[in-house]
Each structure stands twice: as structure tokens, then as C-alpha cells.
Amino acid sequence: MPLEAEAVYENGVLKFDKPLPLDEHERVTVRIQPKVSRIGKSAGSIRLPDQADARVYLLGPENHPWEQ
């Protein structure tokens, strides 16, 4: 049965937030997936071809190079 648990890595050891429902000496396979911030997850998801387009997207259409 798959199990998902949160843990902190300290001094070379994973410390789980809650006890795991496992038998003593039970062997398991562990998949490590670091938590990423919301910004980290979305980084690079918006593709802008150049700096002018980025300025328009971030600051509004009044900052378009044609408006200057």
C-alpha cells in the first residue's frame, strides 16, 4: 500500500513528522521528492520572447515600447 509522509532531513537522517504505520524492521522503498515553493513550481511556466514583452506583461500595456 502506498504511503505518503512528510519529513525533515537533519544531520543525515530523515525525521518524519508523524509515526509511520510500519512493522519494526519492515523493508520499504523510499521515493524522495523535495518540497518546492509555489514560485519554484511556476518558474518558467510563462514564456516571453523578449524583454519588451516581459515589461508589457509585468507592468501593463502603457509600458509597451510603441507607447514611448
Give the cell for residue 37. Answer: 515553493
- What pLDDT digit, counting tens, does each position of 46-64 carry? 665 666 666 666 666 665 5
Distance CA 63, CA 68 (A): 7
Quick one: which of 68, 4, 63 has its CA closest to 33?
4
DSSP character at residue 44: T
pLDDT of residue 11: 94
How far is Cα 23 from Cα 18, in angstroms, rounded to an integer?
15
pLDDT tens for each residue of 9-36: 999 999 999 999 999 999 999 888 887 7
User: In sequence order, what are the residues at sequence separation of 6 or more whose Cβ sits closer than 8 angstroms to the Cβ of residue 48?
Assistant: 54, 57
pLDDT at 43: 64
